[in-house]
Structure 1
């Protein structure tokens, strides 16, 4: 007799296929800026390798050569073997945190020489770990808290919010980038709410548009209870003179209470970090479950991240080129394919350009057409994006050429 649960699972999977929402792990190999998929060599326009560092073999060779003079006993280990609170803390991760703090201070200093703003850095295994762990740890303090989150924040933030719910912590979500509604929610907060945490991404991962950090900082100034939590995952490396993201570009770094950044995108590495006050950092070390109960990342990965971090302030030419390439593509796409009126903003937004097709079948068909034309393009469907906004998420990176961009435009 067939397992009844397995039968029901198979029926549900069949329904996903009928709805054009079925996912599978692609069988791919990487060759520089190309991906080998189904016996085709396709130009990669789907990854988050925004600066093209992940496909830069010269850069990787330089890193490996930098390790060669070291005795074997001094080479970064290939595994941390335990959590940071046991034996997983070593000189690579502590050195990375120290350098992140210097990076932050340098970014603040570029627009405010007299600023004494300071933040401590905490490195964690991934952006997902950071986002599912930060809010539950913060709300472990017995303070009545209201979380107000943008409707389009990443799934990891939503999971973190759900894990935070308690008798003392509630949440609401405001319409995407609708700060008038957000202000109304703040005004409606109960008098006994002691803390209001506004949560947003700086660049939204599926729409590629920006939050207005300056307006959020102005809102914060209206109520002493407000704290700002900004996920800069898709802005780190590509914006700011030092590469520290939209908060650096908008001179709002010092006003953000909890800043999350990742190394798995523009850094072409792995892991994430949180910039926060020193007291908050110590609290997270004691209450943040993904940090406490996860084996730390291998020191060799942190060594690579430190290598990239040292170069990040010198990559402005790549950032400028990426901006020009992205603007060229976004301007060529008719406005009917943009996600919403909120994404239709003048000037460069990000390397993420949504090509909205509406229904799932159209997105799947367009992805297939682009693959046949030589591009590794993938359909993005609900529940990743709202219903009826299935799309191709086009992603520019600094390894692409102007000719690549023009060819892509022709096939759109």
Structure 2
């Protein structure tokens, strides 16, 4: 770019005898003015400087349009101003060259406008995708099952989506009005639906908390009445029932639930602490009782096996009287000790049952009938053996002899049983 010091702008003009300064153009000379009181060279230099200033401004704008990130809008406004200045300023210089620079600026500006237009279109496309994603996520949050929603997390996320929408609306590419309006209506509907569901949910939750609080207050009141009871068994069962009802009552608000539980547990602990003290004292007595019953078991083992049923029954009755008088034993020993006593009682009972069977006439008669049948069978087999031997049939005689031996063995067993039954 030519500077004022080396500019040849003045070579495109002349000064007339009357002091009028002219500039040469492709269409001929054009008067640009005069500079009274100055020499011809000074007048020509004055109008040449005006040209140099315009050309410098044009060159600078061309550089900004082609080499910087000036917006097409700002560049267009600058070009408009420059053209106005060129049109209104009387100057001496290479006006076609200046027009050429201005045309280069206009050409570069059109390119920049096209690039920016494409960039805006792409940005709008990306903005649409992002807005649609915001809407889709908001609708997904709003469509959740109220019973499964993580309300704190979802509420926070819905707030974040609104902030993202506002930020994108403020700083992002602008969408077409109708498109943005339609998306906003969907987004707003999702937010309003979610808020309505959330309010309904927490309203119902408050009702549930209220009902649970009322029920638990009743349970606490009953527990506090039972706390000082010394009716240990029924009261322990009552506390078990109250605990079951507590679990079924649902949850009140956290603060109410915690406070009520502390009262309930305090009453429960007070009762069971008092009960445990009494049980501890009883266990001392029960331990002594257990030692007595251990000694009675050792004594009772001598009754078995039963040899004299009458004596055994008398010994058992005396043992049972002492057993009942000995009292309760600790729970941990109860099963073992009671089983020991039942073994002794069952032993005497089994002996009594066996003796009864022996004295049963019907049983004895069946045994004697069996003896008679077997005796007849043995006699018949002896005859068959003798007949087979007389006939020389050794194989048949051997088989009959085996059968005879089996019958004789069975006969001896049945006779022994019959003799025992007859005493």
Category of TM-score, reference length = shorter chain: under 0.3
Flag the structure with more relative contact order, 1 or 2, with Cα contacts below 8 A and sequence separation at least 6. Answer: 1
TM-score by length of 2: 0.15
TM-score by length of 1: 0.15
Q: If you compute each CA radius of gyration, which structure gives the higher value, 1 or 2? A: 2
